[in-house]
Structure 1
Amino acid sequence: MKTIFNQAYEQSMSYQEFLDLMDEKIKDGLSTGHEQNEILSNFTKLNRSRMKRVTKTVELLPELTEKIQNITEKQIWLVLTESWCGDAAQSVPVLNLIAESSPNIELRIVLRDDNDPLMQQYLTNGGRSIPKLIAIDASKENELFTWGPRPEKGTAFFLEQKEKFGGVTAEVKEALQKWYNDDQGQSLQQDILKQY
């Protein structure tokens, strides 16, 4: 019987294929995911430019690069995401850069709405929060570790802002994006480093 990881892997795409899909959706005024509206398509467009910036500006931590390059067993990093997700726009490019630094890590993008059985196994406080990284071994049967939907420090900052403003307000979303810009992928890398 196929594992849930196998099924997700079969429906997955490379990071470049995901970027190409985003570009196609932007051209058509759409987003990925089952729900379609102008807000989500606008976020997809904004996120595509954020992803370009993150890819150009993030520098990998030397200690993480060293650990990643010393991985000897093949790993597959399944990343549940959608094009409209602001957290994903800041984190998925960093995960891709980390994966690219090792010949033994294969990063695969898995669309959340098309892979609900996998998403249901990795809920965050009962919610379908993304991005969610599930690292598995080459057999596609064993989970190695998970990460997401935000860096630990980002989650702490978000909760602090949410309390300050009494919910997930525009001010909270703006403050979180500023936190990501200032952090430049460092906290996410520290989180991944703890896995090795």
Structure 2
Amino acid sequence: MEHVLGPITREIFNRGLSYQDFKKLTDQLVLEGKTTGANQSQAYLEYTRLNQQRMHRWDKTLKVSARMAELVQSISEHQAWTVITEAWCGDGAQSIPYIARLADLNPNIELKIIMRDECPEVMDAYLTNGARSIPKLVAMTADLVCELFTWGPKPTYLIEKQKAYKHDSQGVSYQDYSAEVHLWYAKNKNHDLELELYPLIQSSLIL
């Protein structure tokens, strides 16, 4: 556990959205033909529409293992979980529903979702190899003084897959690559995400 004078202030945390409010925002943006952030390109609008579908689908189908549920329910001290994302972020739409389901299992966990581009000072404290990669989960003590763990922006398998693709695409278009990634998410059913989050959450219990 790390003591920090971090960028996630009480004001920023309280301003964040619950998962339900984030979904409502996404629904409204889709209706208006908009997304979050400055980039309002047609591609980003389409990403947002797809993410709306992904989140609603996961809400109906995702499952938390009994092992993980038991661990999360054993958290006895209040924790503040912040997810940094944007409505157009495909990896966010795949992972945040599961993270939100975990938070729902224990009233000691308060989850807030903040937008990357609205909180650059927060994002820049949690870069991934120098990049503003999202989503990023930051778990802290309830007073926002001690950092418990971080995770993101995606399961390790996909991080390595992305590195390999950037090094040599082997003629695969980005559209086809992206389709492969989201097919992997659908087949993996949050298995890798759970495996990665379990030891992080477990470590947060050792105070």
TM over 0.5: yes
Do the aligned residues in 1 keep the contact of 2:81 with 2:137 (CA within 8 Å)?
yes
Given the alignment of the two structures, is residue 191 of structure 1 paired with residue 164 of structure 2, yes or no?
no
TM-score (norm 2): 0.88
1:4 aligned partner: 7
Q: Deviations over 1:64-123 (max 9, x none)?
A: 111100000100110000000110110011100111111111110011010000000001
Match of 1:123 among 122, 127, 131: 127
Deviation, 1:173, is 1.0
- 2:113 maps to amino acid: I
Alpha-carbon contact 1:158-1:172 (below 8 Å) kept:
no
Q: Indicate the SS of the match to 2:124.
A: helix
Among 12, 15, 28, which residue is 2:19 paired with?
15
**Shift, 1:172, TM fit:** 1.6
Determine the C-alpha separation between the residues in 1 that align with 2:72 and 2:183.
Answer: 28
Cα distance in 1 for residues equivalent to 2:163 and 2:90 = 16
Give TM-score, length-normalised by structure 1.
0.93
Corresponding residue number in structure 1 for 2:53? 49
Partner residue, 2:181: 176
SS of the residue corresponding to residue 145 of structure 1 reads strand
Long gaps (5+) in structure 2: 203-207
Sort the Cα spacing of 1:57 and 1:164 in 2 relative to 1 into closer, same or farther, 3 A. farther
Give, as a single letter, the amino acid of the residue that structure 2 aligns with 1:92.
I
Which residue in 2 is equivalent to 1:67? Answer: 71
Report the alpha carbon displacement of residue 3 of structure 1 after superposing the two structures with TM: 5.2
Work out the CA distance in 1 between the residues paired with 2:168 and 2:97. 29
Whole-angstrom distance in 2 between the partners of 1:81 and 1:168: 25
Structure 2 residue 110 is matched with structure 1 residue 106: yes
Unaligned ranges ≥5, structure 1: none
Task: For residue 112 of structure 2, give the secondary structure of its aligned residue in structure 1.
Answer: strand
Once the two structures are superposed, residues 154-183 of structure 1 have per-residue CA deviations (whole angstroms, 9 ceiling, x without a partner) of 323333444452587222211111110110
